[in-house]
Structure 1
Amino acid sequence: MSNVRKFDVTPPDLRIPALIFIAVLLTLTGVLAMGWHQLVGSSALWVVIAAALIAPALILITVFRRKVMLDGETLKIVAGLNRTSIPTSSLLTNQARIVDLDTSTEYRLGIKSFGTSMPGYHAGHFRQIGGNKVFALVTDKRRVLVLPERDGRLLMLSLEKPQALLDALQRSAHTQ
């Protein structure tokens, strides 16, 4: 049985995601209400009802599904609909930094490849302006653990105690 250590992700400011959730819910409800008479009896009604249920549920899943775990020699990250597992041996812990993304321009997230990006919450796969790949779970830009991988990709994690994960990873590297 492996020893799994969980590291608390900094909770995001939920004001903007809540507004987005409400806007999506109201929009879908409005579409359903305005088109009800035309949709009754057609298969399109079920498509609209499914969208009205699935879209808000996906927003909730994306914002509330976030985990960082160290399972033996594997770092596992769950960020909304995305997840990744990285062997600790592929992390360059000696080059890791805890940065403020507002002031550290070299670590800013660029273009979203596949993931979720809204003010105060970035989760999934990104590319920086220079082309570097990034897997991010950023809920607070002021304190982000940046972990380089041997293949050049960066992990960016907003953790309650980023130094605790870094220490655990460095201990794991010394025992390998």
Structure 2
Amino acid sequence: MSAAPHPFEVARAPAWRLLWLWIPLLLVAGLMVGTALDAPERSHTELFITLPFLAVLAAALTWAYTRRRIVLHEDTLEVQSTFYRKRVPVRDMRLDEARIVDLAEHGRYKPAIKTNGYGVPGFQSGHYRMVDRSKAFCLITDSSRVLYLPLRDGSALVISPERPRVLLEALQALAGPPGAH
């Protein structure tokens, strides 16, 4: 009989951060409407195609922003964030090197380059390169309390659970005594 999945709440990310997405899209829509109305000889067909496209794009990116979860299922940690998902067995984690950090104070744990991700100021999701060029999968909603989990392959998970200490303790309990992981 398998154990039930154990979800861990993700630290809240305020909805106002979506203004970094919505304002540019609204500006583009406004410019399109303004230029189309300023040139009456042009067909308005592009507005009937582009404006709904921008609305669908805004809806999809807003939905993605809210899609995030952290679940411990048996011996695997699953992190879902926006369009991305990462599953890591506990045995692949170097838990003795795991840290709970404030990224403002510990810049070496902060993602530096987005390689395949979704981000607005204060929110990072997906695949990044760290300052030392190592790879990381990120779900950062609160940079003041981030759980940095190095992996045996040299990459890391950098995530923002609501209670990082509780998640780290659960992972350590699954791994067993130090030296067993």
Do both share a fold (TM > 0.5)?
Answer: yes
Give CA-to-partner distance per residue, 1:19-56, whole Å, 9 cap, x none: 5324314523552564387455x5x5564144223220
1:12 aligns with 2:10: no
1:167 aligns with 169
Give CA-to-partner distance per residue, 1:97-122, whole Å, 9 cap, x none: 00010111211211000111221101
CA contact (8 A) 1:13 1:120 kept: no
Q: Which amino acid is the alignment partner of residue 125 of structure 1? A: H
Give the alignment's Cα RMSD to 1 decimal.
Answer: 2.3
Q: Which amino acid is the alignment partner of residue 72 of structure 2? A: L
Q: CA distance change for structure 1 residues 52 and 29 in 2, over 3 Å: closer, same or farther?
A: farther
CA contact (8 A) 2:25 2:58 kept: yes
Q: What TM-score do you get using the length of structure 1 for normalisation?
A: 0.87
Cα distance in 2 between the residues matched to 1:77 and 1:107: 18
1:139 aligns with 141
1:158 aligns with 2:160: yes
Aligned length: 174
Dislocated runs of 4+, deviation >6 Å: none
Cα distance in 1 between the residues matched to 2:129 and 2:35: 40
Q: What TM-score do you get using the length of structure 2 for normalisation?
A: 0.85
CA contact (8 A) 1:68 1:76 kept: yes
The unaligned stretches of length 5 or more in structure 2 are none
2:110 aligns with 108
2:25 aligns with 24
Cα distance in 2 between the residues matched to 1:39 and 1:77: 47
Q: CA distance change for structure 1 residues 81 and 39 in 2, over 3 Å: closer, same or farther?
A: farther
CA contact (8 A) 1:100 1:142 kept: yes
The secondary structure found in structure 1 opposite 2:111 is: coil
* Bigger Cα Rg: 2
Cα deviation for residue 71 of structure 1 reads 1.0
Q: Which amino acid is the alignment partner of residue 69 of structure 1? A: V
Q: CA distance change for structure 1 residues 39 and 10 in 2, over 3 Å: closer, same or farther?
A: farther
The secondary structure found in structure 1 opposite 2:176 is: helix
CA contact (8 A) 2:108 2:131 kept: no
Q: Which amino acid is the alignment partner of residue 67 of structure 2? A: R
Q: Which amino acid is the alignment partner of residue 93 of structure 1? A: L
Which deviates further from its counterpart, 127-136 or 20-29? 20-29
Cα deviation for residue 62 of structure 1 reads 2.8
